[in-house]
Amino acid sequence: MATKKPIPLAVWLPLGLVATVISLIGSLVVYSLLNPPAPPTVNFVGIITVRGQTITPKQLGQGRQLYELHCAVCHGLKLEGQPNWQEGMAANLLLAPALDQNSPSRQYSDEQILQLISQGGIKPNTTMLGYKDKLTPTEMAALLGYIKTHWK
């Protein structure tokens, strides 16, 4: 009978290293799933209210995340609106307007803006979707609070 040669250390060492790396990655994945990061807060000096309720820094951070996820693709990451949105409005083509300090939305009440977020834009001149099936009223208020931080 032939005797088996022991596996050399040069083979075991890389295998052990790979197993350690896989274990470490698995631990990090599990940790991140069990401990999701808190929403970032928004550095804003002042008080933001929506429907008369003060929006907390944590809610503003949540609003920022919601904005980046649902709104920025059309209204821009800096809330600047689509290019030439003002000319589009003059031609009755409602391009996604700015939501910053130049926003035409500033003239509307919180209720009107929240209804627009919930129901979507007025068809047929806009493609804005309603978010009533995607966002809760609390999330919509946080989103509006974040937008209002850009109004000076």
Element of type H or E holding 53: strand 53-54
* List of residues 6+ apart from 62 with CB closer than 8 A: 39, 139, 142
CA-to-CA distance for 36 and 104, rounded, in angstroms?
Answer: 36
**Helix (H, G, I), strand (E, B), or coil: what is residue 50?**
strand
List the chain pLDDT tens, one digit each, 152 residues: 677 777 776 766 677 777 777 877 777 777 666 666 655 556 666 789 999 999 999 999 999 999 999 999 999 999 998 888 877 766 666 788 889 988 888 999 999 999 999 999 876 667 788 999 999 999 999 999 999 999 87
DSSP string, 13-27: HHHHHHHHHHHHHHH
Question: Quick one: pLDDT at residue 148?
Answer: 94
Give the predicted TM-score (pTM) of the model: 0.69
Q: What is the pLDDT of residue 123?
A: 66
Alpha-carbon distances of 117 from 9, 18, 82, rounded to whole Å: 64, 49, 17
Looking at domain 49-148, which of 1.10.760.10, 1.10.10.10, 3.50.50.60, 2.160.10.10 is its CATH number?
Answer: 1.10.760.10
Q: How many angstroms separate the CA atoms of 98 and 50, rounded?
A: 19
Q: Judge contact between 105 and 99, C-beta under 8 A.
A: yes
Beta bridge partners of 25: none
